[in-house]
Amino acid sequence: MNEMLSFLAAGYGTTSTALSWFIYFMSKNPQIQKKIKQELSEYHGQRLSIQQVESLTYLDYVLREVFRLAGPVTGTVRTLTADDQLPKSGAQLKKGDSVMITFYTLARDKRYWANLYDLNEFHPERYLDDPENKNNLSALIPFGGGHRQCMGQDLARFELKIICARLMQFVTFGDGGPELNAGGYDVTDTIKPKKLAVTITFD
């Protein structure tokens, strides 16, 4: 019962936060919003099957970029099982120490990403225009990694994708203005947009 309650509580907050960031980035990038709508156009507003949802590759890239730039959580903590040393600074780490892995830093570290687009800007094409596979996707771990990664990530990814797809079938988000729709970060249990104000046009 405790696992199920955790599953539901954690899934609600993080998925709704990711959806807020999706709406924010769409309002700021109408050309990307248009590309998603083009990918969805063959379905003419109909309900989508699992196979159809899975076929939406550009939307996958968009959501990947949402998670890269604005993951719902700051990072993860791991406890060392052996003594270690940081390679650059030489700092000594002891068994039992807790180490914070920040998703924000990994997502913007030039060592792990192809030099195609500014890492501080929203560009889903960075995954499309990477024929040599220079983007190290192990640096994109919004759900953690290894055997301790989020148990609900498959459900979270799927429900977020289907919600975003259905939204893009019927509405267009516009920018509510530089002051009201300024973005920024508001850190509570998740990392929410601090200022989010969009217009909604029904297509």
Dist CA 177 CA 28 (whole Å): 10
Asked if residue 150 belongs to a known ligand binding site, the reply is yes
Which SS3 state, helix, strand or coil, does residue 102 take? strand
Task: List helix spans (H) across 29-54.
Answer: 30-40, 50-54
Q: What are phi and psi of 99, to 5 degrees?
A: -120, 130
In the numeric block, which tokens belong to residue 27? 């309002």
Encoded amino acid at 4, one letter: M
Encoded amino acid at 6, one letter: S
Give counts: helices (H), strands (E), the chain: 7, 8
Burial class (CB in 10 A: 0-12, 13-18, 19+), 5: exposed
Distances (CA, A) of 100 to 7, 77, 104: 23, 5, 12
| Beta carbons of 54 and 151 less than 8 angstroms apart | no
Which residues define the annotated binding site? 150
Which residues define the annotated binding site for heme? 150
